[in-house]
Structure 1
Amino acid sequence: MPEFDLIVLGGGTGNVVASAAAGEGLDVAVVERDKLGGTCLNRGCNPSKRLIHHADVVQTVREAEAFDVDATLNDVAFADIVRAVNETVTAEAEEKAEQAREHDRMTFYQTEGRFVDEHVVEVDTGDGPERLTSDRIVLAGGSRPLVPEGIDGTDDVEFLTSDEALRLEDRPDRLVVVGGGYIAVELAHFFGQMGTDVTIVGHGDLLVHREDRDAAERLTAAYRERHDLHLGHSATELAEEGEEVVVTAETEDGDEISVRGDEVLVATGRQPNSDLWSVDAAGIETDERGFVETDDYLETSVDGVWAIGDVAGNYMFKHSGDKEGEYVVENAVRGEREPVEYPGMAHAIFGSPQLASLGKPESEIDDGTAYEVGTREYDDTPLGSAMQADGFAKVLVGADSEVLGVHVVGPDAATLIHEVSTAVAAGADAERIAETIHVHPALSEVVQGAFRDACDVAPTGI
């Protein structure tokens, strides 16, 4: 039974830990059933945002006339775009794999793996199963698309998840998207700008309904102008009729609708891969949804086993997973006891418009908590007006100028949120952000304006 100083299960965020450990002289085993780079590189952030950038360019051309620019969109080479994006990410994954294989302190098992005991992992090899052991194991096993059990027909009807949608080279004329979260919103934007008629069926009354309601309402209104929305409906069945797929959905009151498409994308969330790694065989505790439970140091219920990234479920973002990886390097590799913190944690949805958030939505602020709300419309700033941008920033400021929440909807929201993220991580309060000198007429004045409104800081000039 090969024994290692450290075993890392999962080749996505786990790379942060494996690379650091190998660099410090530890003998490391990495087990990954798919390509190195994990979901983000191969089936998530990287390919989706590369594709979405193409959609953003197409949208710019489509809307050029509003800026007195005579531009014509003659064609979109859909298959070429998808193929080029996936060739790029595949090459990156293969390069990572080659580096792992050549590292003299790293053994890369590109195969299925699973726990069979607390500190024993079994891997599949061409010569049969092999068992690996280590006193230290890091589970970075990721997540996969969730397909609700309540939708009949999923065993009989072909449908897309985000995994397949990102590699689809034949553009559908009509696409039905089941789900109203960030994956549904982002891929609806991509396919819609590529020329597909998109219908969205979501169970919430708004798209991305877990976001701040004002922000979700603004995004939903924009999507309603471009797509056919059926919100407040839960999909109950998929069926094939000829070459079409029919999606049946109903409201809580039992009102039923049927919508049709050439393809159906089920984008109803993601689930942790804890079951695929057989964590129960190691006695690792999970919550009711299957996420591995961790303590303040990201250690699981089994001593010497840590969990990071999507499988742990603290946050399901690549940037939070990478931060957790840094803490586990300290705790699992270097033997420290550093409690994990997420200062200034923000996230973004790369739809059209973009939406970015930090902190709490207004609905989650505790009753009795005193706070101020500040807002600023994009078109109330010089650059936002020049861009003819429909969007806004909303900030929630508590006692002692504490930043409780920030929500931005509009162009470059994913970038604008970072000035607040950095400020909060550095210990700045809302008044400091409001009074910080901003470049004029940069788009960041949208965020500053919202903080000025909340903090009652007078704007510069008359």
Structure 2
Amino acid sequence: MTEKETKKTVKNIIIGFGKGGKTLAKFLGQQGEEVLLVEKSAKMYGGTCINIACLPSKRLILEGAAGSDFSEAVAGKNEMTAQLREKNYQMLAQEETVTVLDGQARFIGEKEIEVTGPAGKQIFKGDRIFINTGASPVLPPVPGLKESKKRLDSTQAMNLTSLPKELLILGAGYIGLEFAGMFANYGSQVTVLDHSPEFLPREDDDIKAAVKADLERAGVKFILGADAEKVSDEADQVVIDYKLGEEKLTAAADKVLVAAGRRANTADLNLPAAGIETDDRGNIRVDDRLRTSADQVWALGDVKGGPQFTYVSLDDFRIVKDQLFGEGKRRVSDRQILPTSVFITPPLSAVGLNEKAAQKAGLDYQLFKLPVAAIPKAKVAKDSRGLFKALVDPASGQILGASLYGLESHELINQIALAMKAKLPYSFLRDQIYTHPTMSEAFNDLFKQ
């Protein structure tokens, strides 16, 4: 070790300030346990969700739908995230036994890490280590894409100071659609290219047709089945050469936003030094209780693969907490009912099975459908777009799943998920008394025979 290096044993080391990690750090601190939380960037205090994902993106999406000025919306978003970062930092700093250390952590041995940061290199050994380093956008291997000065990832797109007049988006997945709808609402001319010839292939045909039609009405152009072959910066524009079938075409815009998925942040951790295994995509392998292949080392959140949602990371915390201070009964495999929302306008939300999945599984089901135009609150809110669908087991009356495309679906889906978790029959939601006019009272009509 150099003179700048120190070595200390800490009871708990948490690598990454994400939702699961910060919640665990706070809890352990409240138990009086010593915690070292290592975060490589002070701009990421609080994790991905509050800084560069869920909250800032949804803030901009709502502002765009409300007709706000783009630059003013970005400034407001920045103010919000700065406040949240400070709040999250103070949440841990106020705990006497918790230390937040800036720096890049890497394993140098079993339960031993080296942290390189403003204070130089420091070495720590942990009795327990928790990895919560999240994930980052994937860059497809398209020639010229990495070198393009007009290329954006999702973080850079939300930090633009001026609105692109024309925007190309590579990827028609859920993240790509959120940004497509958002920028179209602000006034950009948006074109989305995707290699798949089918739009939202996992969704039911009627749902995805409604989503695509509404986005197109908002001004989004889709080019499906397009294989990007080359990206080049020419004067003030970025040009993409792509192949559509046997035809070779080009598309040009001010900027290109890459929305091609995310990959676990494990490349810089030197995991083999600690005996921590990963899969072929770099995700940390964990068991049903989030334990890695190394003793007393856990992984939480996006870094372990699977659904990448902040509420999953929070539930990961509950699983770990139950092992350390509870009965040890919570498992990843218990998490069968997981609601999701895509924050296009209006939002698309789902839980459980849709028709396509139920048919593939050969399940018998009863289908309930309700156009959003039939809901009084939608008329009041002047947004009647969308369709609500639910599948019910004819034998038990329990809900198998739902796809809700329409106003406030991101709130409604949690009610359906709760009913499914509690194994309540669909008639419970059908016969419930709801306030009026609200979107939740749609369940009275959706679940009618």
> SS of the residue aligned with 1:368?
coil
Shift in Å at residue 17 of structure 1? 0.6
Once the two structures are superposed, the pairs formed by residues 214-233 of structure 1 within 5 Å of their partners are 214-225=206-217, 226-233=219-226
Q: Does 1:3 align with 2:23?
A: no
Q: Could you tell me how far apart the structure 2 residues matched to 1:310 and 1:254 are?
A: 38
> SS of the residue aligned with 2:251?
strand
TM-score calculated relative to the size of structure 2: 0.91
**Which of 148, 152, 168 is matched with 1:157 structurally?**
148
Q: Does 1:397 align with 2:392?
A: yes
Shift in Å at residue 290 of structure 1? 1.9
Q: Does 1:376 align with 2:370?
A: yes
* Higher share in strand: 2
Distance change (3 Å), C-alpha of 1:222 and 1:308: same
Q: Could you tell me how far apart the structure 1 residues matched to 2:84 and 2:362 are?
A: 51
Which shifted more, 119-128 or 301-310?
119-128
> SS of the residue aligned with 2:133?
coil
- Give the RMSD, CA atoms, in angstroms: 2.0
Q: Which digits, 9 at most, give the CA deviation of each residue in 1:119-158, with x for residues without a partner?
A: 1111103353222111211111100011112x11123212
Whether the 8 Å CA contact 1:375–1:449 is kept in 2: the answer is no
Q: Please name the residue that 1:144 is paired with.
A: 136
> SS of the residue aligned with 2:8?
coil
Shift in Å at residue 441 of structure 1? 4.1
Shift in Å at residue 16 of structure 1? 0.8
AA of the residue aligned to 2:9: E
Whether the 8 Å CA contact 1:296–1:339 is kept in 2: the answer is yes
Q: Could you tell me how far apart the structure 1 residues matched to 2:114 and 2:325 are?
A: 22
Q: Which digits, 9 at most, give the CA deviation of each residue in 1:360-405, with x for residues without a partner?
A: 2332234432112211101123333443512111112224223222
AA of the residue aligned to 1:391: G
Q: Could you tell me how far apart the structure 1 residues matched to 2:87 and 2:379 are?
A: 45
Shift in Å at residue 333 of structure 1? 5.6
Distance change (3 Å), C-alpha of 1:292 and 1:335: farther
AA of the residue aligned to 2:36: A
Q: Please name the residue that 2:40 is paired with.
A: 33
Shift in Å at residue 207 of structure 1? 4.3
Q: Please name the residue that 2:23 is paired with.
A: 16
Whether the 8 Å CA contact 2:322–2:329 is kept in 1: the answer is yes
Q: Could you tell me how far apart the structure 2 residues matched to 1:314 and 1:447 are?
A: 31
AA of the residue aligned to 2:137: P
Distance change (3 Å), C-alpha of 1:107 and 1:441: closer
Distance change (3 Å), C-alpha of 1:363 and 1:180: same
> SS of the residue aligned with 1:136?
strand
Q: Could you tell me how far apart the structure 1 residues matched to 2:76 and 2:437 are?
A: 37
Distance change (3 Å), C-alpha of 1:12 and 1:156: same
> SS of the residue aligned with 1:427?
coil
Once the two structures are superposed, the pairs formed by residues 163-178 of structure 1 within 5 Å of their partners are 163-178=155-170
Distance change (3 Å), C-alpha of 1:55 and 1:126: closer
> SS of the residue aligned with 1:25?
coil
TM-score calculated relative to the size of structure 1: 0.88
Whether the 8 Å CA contact 2:388–2:405 is kept in 1: the answer is yes
Q: Could you tell me how far apart the structure 1 residues matched to 2:447 and 2:110 are?
A: 50
**Which of 343, 356, 360 is matched with 2:353 structurally?**
360
Whether the 8 Å CA contact 2:301–2:313 is kept in 1: the answer is yes
Q: Please name the residue that 2:438 is paired with.
A: 442
Q: Which digits, 9 at most, give the CA deviation of each residue in 1:172-215, with x for residues without a partner?
A: 11111111112111112221111111111122345443344432
How many residues end up aligned between the 2 structures?
434
> SS of the residue aligned with 2:9?
coil
Whether the 8 Å CA contact 2:377–2:438 is kept in 1: the answer is yes
- Note the residue ranges of structure 1 that are not aligned, 5 or more in a row: 59-75, 457-462
- Note the residue ranges of structure 2 that are not aligned, 5 or more in a row: 1-6
> SS of the residue aligned with 2:152?
coil
Q: Could you tell me how far apart the structure 2 residues matched to 1:229 and 1:419 are?
A: 33
Once the two structures are superposed, the pairs formed by residues 257-406 of structure 1 within 5 Å of their partners are 257-332=249-324, 336-340=328-332, 341-342=334-335, 344-365=337-358, 366-386=360-380, 387-398=382-393, 399-406=395-402
> SS of the residue aligned with 2:96?
coil
Shift in Å at residue 336 of structure 1? 3.5
Q: Could you tell me how far apart the structure 1 residues matched to 2:123 and 2:95 are?
A: 21
Distance change (3 Å), C-alpha of 1:243 and 1:32: same
Which shifted more, 23-32 or 131-140?
131-140
Q: Does 1:240 align with 2:233?
A: yes
Whether the 8 Å CA contact 1:200–1:227 is kept in 2: the answer is yes
Q: Could you tell me how far apart the structure 2 residues matched to 1:431 and 1:409 are?
A: 21
**Identity across the alignment (%):** 29
Q: Please name the residue that 2:4 is paired with.
A: none
